[in-house]
């Protein structure tokens, strides 16, 4: 909630304190946080520099830091900021407040921050500016919960909660210890706050601190330096080569190619499908990207939110057709009579209504433009994606060299790995090799003698399935939004409406056929509550469609990361039924680790998807 005091200063009635020094936010940012941390001098001559801020508020410190970076000809190539905020303003409020309160030197940058301001959902959000040279990893939630889950190697800390006596949890010893755990060697800390207790707590946490002249009528502030680097500080997976070989040109491989190329890497992709003239997802004309909702906001739900957000951020600028279309998703309840439970879930989660809300059958039907069977929830950000076009656009934009070929095994070569085919011929080599070839990754690891330590990956199975393309005219033009539930029905992409999908355990091949088409048409009829007038006229087996495989791991979460027993060899597999949710996010997770950037995911989530 936005409130002002009698002098027109932004205040919090919860904490009874002002957001910024009455003497000026810009002066405070420069004196306390920048100069208190030895900036800009300390970042000079470095490739990247990472700052962590405890109370992001309106982002004025962030904007001042970004401006200082911009104005410094000796700036590092990359500036990363990780920040936490428990009571985030809405995007509208941020825009209006920055327009009114941002000091003049920051007014040019403020609209860019407001424009990318995320939905008010718990967890980490990644914002990027200056073509990715400046990143902001913004966690919505309590700093005490978030800080121990950050994956970052921090060079400077900005401690900016409300006053310690009014907002003690922002200065509590466990939080300060969690921050010290993220400290890179020589990391510094600065804050306007200056109590003896704070200095003692910082000292106990591992910072050597002292008083320094304060700003704006305050005699003192606190500055300091970490005694030794933190154990939690995430190191980069070092390779100066900046070349990666990716095995597999599907949704996983294309997502990684984009993420690495965007950070200046050269990328080589080896793909078996292309050797056979069958690129992954050729003919898969439409698919859905809808987040998961769970009453306990479990890991899968948190990951899926992060994945949707990352996909939109990464793909919205792609050419038409390849870029997702935000059309929304009506997720129909599995059976009638669950609306009270659903209401309870939504109330417990308290997510913004403009992100997800409960809808009656009538409302769901109005959103879809077709009668649907039951009410459910509406995700306004549900996305319709054309996977074949997306993959081609991502590979083209990454400038990757795409080589047709089937990887049989990998073996150590110099600092890195060589990828060989069945004849033993070398297909490619690099310090960094990433197996992103779905269920084929298990076979490559087994053939290379590397599978045994990977119990979860060893249990991977391939699950076939198909989707069917129905003429839009058979569906009164098709739905206006994605209709999901037991199966899914997608808006017309020009070629028709995709209905899906089947799950065939133990299939020998993935194929389109009469049996599968009967299943997909029945699922569509179920979603429409039987209101599918052309159903009888459609002959199962005569319609176009697409069939493929899902690589499924126990727990249906992907396995992504460097193999501990094979440094330089990475895995990105097990995307199961949610390849669109994981593609961009897992690409960025791998790239962030390779570059030593803050992770775009909380470490508990990154740990859950780790290969072991
Ligand atoms: C019927 C169906 C419908 C689906 N609908 C959706 C949906 O609506 N939304 C969604 O998010 N997901 C959907 N999925 C899931 C999605 O397709 C997968 O999650 C996604 O394709 C996984 O990406 P991937 O890159 O791991 O695998 P793929 O996209 O299958 O790509 C793997 C690539 O690796 C190559 N390869 C394999 N072995 C080797 C090797 N040894 N050497 C070199 N290359 C190799 C293959 O040729 C292929 O090109 C659907 C899946 C199916 C089957
Ligand atoms: C002094 S203001 C920060 C101003 C901000 N740095 C800026 O540049 O605009 C303190 C911020 O800490 C936030 N805060 C308070 N308690 C918190 C907590 N436990 N976890 C995270 N943020 C918290 C407040 O909501 C507020 O935005």
Please state, for a pLDDT cut of 90, what percent of the chain lies above it.
93
Which ligand is located closest to the Cα atom of residue 437?
1
Taking every pair of Cα atoms in the chain, the longest distance, rounded to a whole number of angstroms, is: 83
Check pLDDT > 80 for residue 236.
no
Which ligand is located closest to the Cα atom of residue 144?
2
Distance CA(163)–CA(581), nearest Å, equals 40
In the predicted model, what is the mean pLDDT of the chain? 96
Q: Confirm or reject: Cβ of 550 under 6 Å from ligand 1.
A: yes
Note the pLDDT tens digit of each residue in 518-574. 999 999 999 999 889 899 999 999 999 999 999 999 999 999 999 999 999 999 999
Q: Confirm or reject: Cβ of 30 under 6 Å from ligand 2.
A: no
**Average pLDDT score over residue span 396-413:** 98
Q: Which of 256, 327, 548 to mutate to test the pocket of ligand 1 (most atoms within 8 A of CB)?
A: 548
Check pLDDT > 90 for residue 239.
no
Cβ neighbors of 256 (< 8 A, separation 6 or more) are: 244, 246, 434, 436, 572, 586, 587, 590, 591
Q: Confirm or reject: Cβ of 288 under 6 Å from ligand 1.
A: yes
Cβ neighbors of 307 (< 8 A, separation 6 or more) are: 291, 578, 580, 581, 582, 583, 584, 585
pLDDT-based confidence at 12, cuts 50/70/90?
Answer: very high
**Average pLDDT score over residue span 494-515:** 96
Check pLDDT > 90 for residue 238.
no
Going by alpha carbons, the residue nearest to atom 46 of ligand 1 is 273
Distance CA(418)–CA(520), nearest Å, equals 42
Q: Which of 575, 581, 590, 609 to mutate to test the pocket of ligand 1 (most atoms within 8 A of CB)?
A: 575
Q: What is the pLDDT of residue 273?
A: 97
Q: What is the pLDDT of residue 2?
A: 82
Note the pLDDT tens digit of each residue in 161-219. 999 999 999 999 999 999 999 999 999 999 999 999 999 999 999 999 999 999 998 99
Centre of ligand 1 to C-alpha 384, Å, is: 17
Distance CA(597)–CA(575), nearest Å, equals 24
Q: Confirm or reject: Cβ of 484 under 6 Å from ligand 1.
A: no
Check pLDDT > 90 for residue 235.
no
Centre of ligand 2 to C-alpha 56, Å, is: 5
Q: What is the pLDDT of residue 232?
A: 76
Q: What is the pLDDT of residue 217?
A: 87
Q: Which of 278, 280, 503 to mutate to test the pocket of ligand 1 (most atoms within 8 A of CB)?
A: 280
Distance CA(184)–CA(235), nearest Å, equals 9
Check pLDDT > 80 for residue 503.
yes
**Average pLDDT score over residue span 3-21:** 90
Which ligand is located closest to the Cα atom of residue 558?
1
Check pLDDT > 90 for residue 512.
yes
Q: What is the pLDDT of residue 543?
A: 97
DSSP state letters, 44-78: TT-SEEEEEES--TTSHHHHHHHHHHHH-TT--SE
Q: Confirm or reject: Cβ of 299 under 6 Å from ligand 1.
A: no
Q: What is the pLDDT of residue 1?
A: 73
Q: Confirm or reject: Cβ of 551 under 6 Å from ligand 1.
A: yes
Cβ neighbors of 394 (< 8 A, separation 6 or more) are: 254, 255, 257, 258, 315, 318, 322
């Amino acid at each position: 909630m936005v409130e002002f005091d009698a002098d027109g200063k932004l205040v919090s009635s919860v904490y009874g304190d002002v957001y910024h020094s009455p003497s000026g936010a810009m002066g405070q940012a420069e004196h306390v946080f920048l100069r208190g941390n030895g900036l800009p001098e300390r970042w000079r001559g470095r490739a990247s520099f990472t700052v962590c801020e405890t109370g992001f508020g309106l982002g004025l410190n962030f904007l001042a830091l970004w401006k200082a970076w911009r104005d410094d000809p000796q700036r590092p190539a990359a500036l990363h900021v990780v920040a936490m905020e428990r009571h985030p303003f809405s995007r509208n409020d941020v825009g209006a407040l920055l327009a009114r309160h941002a000091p003049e030197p920051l007014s040019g940058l403020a609209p860019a921050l407001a424009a990318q301001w995320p939905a008010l959902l718990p967890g980490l959000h990644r914002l990027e500016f200056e073509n990715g040279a400046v990143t902001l990893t913004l966690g919505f939630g309590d700093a005490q919960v978030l800080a121990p889950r950050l994956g970052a190697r921090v060079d400077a800390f900005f401690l900016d909660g409300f006053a310690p006596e009014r907002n003690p949890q922002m200065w509590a010893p466990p939080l300060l210890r969690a921050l010290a755990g993220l400290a890179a060697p020589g990391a510094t800390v600065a804050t306007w706050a200056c109590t003896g207790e704070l200095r003692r707590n910082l000292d106990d946490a591992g910072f050597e601190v002292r008083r320094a002249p304060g700003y704006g009528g305050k005699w003192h502030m606190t500055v300091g330096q970490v005694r030794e680097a933190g154990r939690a500080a995430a190191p980069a997976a070092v390779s100066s080569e900046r070349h990666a070989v990716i095995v597999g040109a599907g949704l996983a491989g294309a997502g990684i190619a984009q993420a690495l190329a965007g950070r200046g890497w050269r990328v080589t992709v080896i793909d078996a499908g292309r050797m056979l003239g069958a690129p992954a997802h050729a003919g898969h004309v439409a698919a859905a990207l809808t987040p998961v909702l769970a009453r306990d906001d479990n890991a899968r739900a948190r990951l899926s939110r992060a994945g949707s957000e990352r996909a939109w951020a990464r793909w919205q600028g792609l050419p038409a057709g390849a870029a997702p279309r935000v059309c929304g998703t009506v997720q129909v309840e599995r059976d009638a009579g669950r609306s009270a439970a659903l209401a309870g879930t939504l109330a417990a989660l308290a997510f913004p209504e403009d992100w997800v809300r409960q809808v009656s059958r009538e409302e769901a039907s109005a959103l879809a433009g077709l009668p649907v069977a039951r009410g459910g929830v509406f995700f306004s950000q549900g996305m319709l994606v054309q996977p074949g076009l997306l993959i081609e656009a991502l590979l083209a934009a990454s400038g990757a060299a795409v080589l047709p070929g089937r990887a049989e095994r990998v073996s150590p070569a110099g600092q890195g790995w060589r990828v060989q085919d069945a004849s033993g011929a070398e297909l490619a080599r690099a310090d960094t090799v990433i197996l992103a070839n779905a269920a084929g990754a298990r076979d490559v690891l087994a053939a290379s003698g590397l599978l045994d330590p990977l119990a979860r990956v060893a249990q991977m199975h391939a699950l076939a399935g198909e989707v069917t393309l129905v003429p839009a005219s058979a569906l009164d033009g098709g739905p206006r939004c994605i209709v999901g539930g037991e199966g899914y029905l997608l808006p017309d992409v020009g070629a028709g409406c995709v209905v899906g999908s089947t799950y065939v355990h133990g299939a020998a091949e993935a194929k389109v056929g009469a049996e599968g088409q009967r299943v997909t048409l029945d699922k569509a009829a179920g979603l429409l509550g039987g209101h599918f007038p052309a159903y009888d006229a459609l002959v199962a087996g005569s319609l176009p469609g697409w069939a493929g495989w899902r690589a499924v791991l126990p727990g249906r979460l992907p396995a992504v990361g460097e193999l501990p027993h094979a440094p330089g060899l990475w895995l990105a597999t097990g995307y199961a039924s949610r390849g669109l949710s994981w593609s961009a996010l897992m690409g960025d997770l791998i790239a962030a680790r390779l570059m030593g950037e803050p992770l775009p995911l909380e470490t508990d989530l990154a740990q859950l998807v780790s290969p072991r």
